[in-house]
Amino acid sequence: MKKNTIYIILLVLVLTAYFGYNYIYQDHRDISTENADYTINASDFIAEFINDSETAQTKYLNKTIVINGDITAQTNNSITLNNSIFCSLLEYNTISKEITVSIKGRCIGYDDLLEEIKLDQCSLTKINQ
Amino acid sequence: MKNLILTFLLLLTLSIAAQNKYITKTGSVTFEASVPSFEEVKATNKNTTAIINTENGEFAALVLVKGFRFKNALMEEHFNENYADSDEYPKATFKGQISSFSVDDLNNSSQQKQYNGTMTFHGKTKTLSNEALSISKNTDGSLKITGKLKLNVADFDIEIPKIVSNKLSREVDVTFEFLLNKK
């Protein structure tokens, strides 16, 4: 009887440790596999921010978004869509032409110094040749 | 004809004005509030915007707080929800000026400069005076600005709960590195 109690206490301890560890050291969000909260055209997305940047920022902040737009600038690790959406990429950029793409990323806010919307952890979901 | 010349001159001055700005959209800002022998409390934001006007040394930077990445996902969540309140205050900004700045004096060896300005984070603004930074001009024409400063969490109205108070430093080390290109 006493032995059983010890086993139960041990089991509870092990389970607490296991779930506790998994809670404290949980994984980061994986934006590239998350379902998008919003799918939107770049021009409509920009229009919402021009109209009211505060409201749009509150709506989209920290959300996973898929944006369809035209590449207007790019670097090794970023793509700019329609001149005003700056997407920081998870992986090195392999595109070197100005084409239409769909990009999935997380909106981190509105940069009013450059009047750009910033997204991080972006990945390309569709490339329209 | 006169109007045409005036318009031309106006456009010319505008383009000159635009050439005095150097910008980056991918500047790096790191803060660390670790306490020895406890888990590292450190995050980096690699999407910081910074602009410098080389005519007068005016300098501005903007950090989107959600863009700070921690090693530990739970720590990142707590930072955003309980300390930085990034839903309410998504931006941290700095506006100021580098003292005795002259772009022509810059070369590829880094120079120490002082700067003054104001920093806003978590809805609170703090004045920074005579902080130091290093600046150099690379051979490709870009400017590199790096620096370190110490900030107190109390200045930004951030409360640290008792339960974690011995694991978090009240004095936060901030380092920044910007590689700015001519606009």
Name the residue among B64, B74, B91 with its Cβ closest to that of A24.
Answer: B74
All structural domains of chain A, each given as residue ranges with its CATH number in brackets, are 38-128 (2.40.50.140)
Instruction: Find, in chain B, the residue whose alpha carbon is nearest to that of A109.
Output: B64
Name the residue among A26, A28, A118 with its Cβ closest to that of B47.
Answer: A118
CA distance B67 to chain A (A): 6
B37-54 pLDDT, tens per residue? 888 999 999 999 999 999
How many domains, chain B? Answer: 1
* CA distances (Å), origin B111, targets A47, A86, A123, B51: 43, 31, 39, 19
ipTM above 0.90, yes or no: no
Name the residue among B49, B65, B74 with its Cβ closest to that of A113.
Answer: B49
| Per-residue model confidence (pLDDT) at position B4 | 66
Instruction: Find, in chain A, the residue whose alpha carbon is nearest to that of B46.
Output: A88
Report yes or no on B14 lying in a domain.
Answer: no
Report yes or no on B67 lying in a domain.
Answer: yes
Q: Give the mutation candidate from B23, B47, B81, B142 for the A interface (greatest A CB count, under 10 A).
A: B47
* CA distances (Å), origin B162, targets A21, B159, B166, B167: 22, 9, 8, 10
Higher pLDDT among residues A82 and B5, named by residue = A82
Report yes or no on B6 lying in a domain.
Answer: no
Residues of B in contact with A61 (CB under 8 A): 66, 86-87, 90
Instruction: Find, in chain B, the residue whose alpha carbon is nearest to that of A57.
Output: B90
The parent domain of residue B118 ranges over: 21-182
Instruction: Find, in chain A, the residue whose alpha carbon is nearest to that of B80.
Output: A62
At B41, which amino acid appears? V
Check which CATH number belongs to the domain holding B172 and give it: 2.40.128.110
- The answer to whether the CB of B3 falls within 8 A of the CB of B11 is no
DSSP letter for A28, please: P
Report yes or no on B10 lying in a domain.
Answer: no
Report yes or no on B43 lying in a domain.
Answer: yes
CA distance B92 to B120: 5
Report yes or no on B39 lying in a domain.
Answer: yes
- The answer to whether the CB of A26 falls within 8 A of the CB of A66 is no
Report yes or no on B3 lying in a domain.
Answer: no
Name the residue among A24, A28, A109 with its Cβ closest to that of B66.
Answer: A109
Is the pLDDT score of B6 beyond 70? no
Q: Do B74 and A88 make contact, defined as CB atoms within 8 angstroms?
A: no
Report yes or no on B40 lying in a domain.
Answer: yes
A49-89 pLDDT, tens per residue? 999 989 999 999 999 999 999 999 988 889 999 999 999 99
pLDDT band at B147 (very low <50, low <70, confident <90, very high): very high
